[in-house]
Chains A and B, each alone.
Chain A
Amino acid sequence: MRDNLRVLLKRLLEFDIDFVLAGGLAAVVHGSPVVTQDIDICIAINEVEVRKLRNALKDLKPRHRMNPNFKPSFLEYPESLEGVQNIYLETDLGVLDILSELKPVGSFETIKENAIAISLYGYQCKVIALDDLIAIKETMNRPKDKETLLHLRALKKKSKGS
């Protein structure tokens, strides 16, 4: 099977990864009509969570994707997690970005504390709070982030009005 973000997200839930959904898919949860091609999650990058992630992804050929000429396996690298903040992967089910901190909001713990919980595929899935997502998008310069920000601000205004 090739790219299927639905199955990939289910896999993360099934393997009990302690994550908060962020990025475009989180914007969708809050009501934004954006389209996205990847899954962004915020986790604490530590031995326990990375072991669980490797277990969840082991049959999906997870590999680091940022250099098209050299894509080492996530199952082997990084050997040490010291200083690792973000991990950008592609897998046989699609692209997965793993982030330990989301500026300017802060670390995983802060993101998790503010997150909302939705019921998805029989699991509780944590999703970054709308205010946090807006704060993050405000610091980004990519056209797609600017567009998403407009949607999120409109959603925020609407939620205040209701």
Chain B
Amino acid sequence: MLQKKNDTVSIPVRDEGTVSSPESGLIDESLIEHTLSLSFEERIEAHEAARQLVKDLQKAGNEHYARQSKGPS
């Protein structure tokens, strides 16, 4: 976690491995914090944008694998 020491700031890191509870490290709690900072409408919009990105990546991935299966022309 982020610490301030003598006016310097250390970079926060994901605390995997130092288990403080059974759930620690199994989920990214900062993602939950981030989601809670959004309004309901913003969450819906974010979900829709992520869905669109997934579609775009699926299409690009399919095109890549289709080209690969055809081999060099």
Contacts and interface: CB of A to CB of B under 8 A. Distances in A.
A115 to B, nearest CB: 11
Interface residues of A, number: 47
A9 B25 CA distance: 26
Interface in B2-17: 2, 4, 9, 11-15
Contacts of A141: 25-26
Contacts of A30: 61
Given A3-B38, A3-B49, A65 B33 contact: yes
Interface string A72-87: 1000011000001011
A120 B57 contact: yes
A116 B65 CA distance: 10
Given A7-B49, A88-B12, A29 B2 contact: no
Nearest to A145: B26
B59 to A, nearest CB: 9
12 contacts: A5-B46, A7-B49, A30-B61, A37-B31, A64-B12, A68-B30, A72-B2, A87-B11, A88-B12, A118-B63, A119-B60, A143-B26
